[in-house]
Amino acid sequence: MSDAPNKASSDAVANDPSLVGRRIVAFIISFALGTAVVGALIITFLKTDLSASFPIAFIPNVPLLPLAALPAGFFFLIWVDYFMGTKIIPD
């Protein structure tokens, strides 16, 4: 086993014409899924609407949904990338 880059896998990525489209779809699916899950959790556990906000330091109203959906979207991107084989995250 070597740490050298695998030339065969990089050639396969370069020759795949649908890779860019699949990566865009992976981002859309993962961030939509992250926003939906976080929205459901806000409604279920916090028992508030999706316009909930909270204060941070000198910013009086920070919306909760986008702030929580961003890391959730990246979490789901890891798994969507794995199942779609888009190789956004190297193996």
Burial class (CB in 10 A: 0-12, 13-18, 19+), 30: buried
Mean pLDDT is lowest, of 6-10, 16-20, 69-73, 85-89, for 6-10
CB atoms within 10 A of CB 85: 10
Q: Where are the alpha helices (DSSP H) in the chain?
A: 7-14, 19-41, 64-84
Q: Rounded distance, CA 36 to CA 63, Å?
A: 15
pTM of the model: 0.78
Q: What is the pLDDT of residue 15?
A: 79
Domain ranges within the chain, ordered by starting residue: 18-84
Q: Which residue has the higher pLDDT, 90 or 67?
A: 67
Q: For residue range 62-85, list pLDDT tens digits in order.
A: 999 999 999 999 999 999 999 999
**What's the whole-number mean pLDDT along residues 7-16?**
64
Cβ–Cβ under 8 Å, residues 52 and 65 = yes
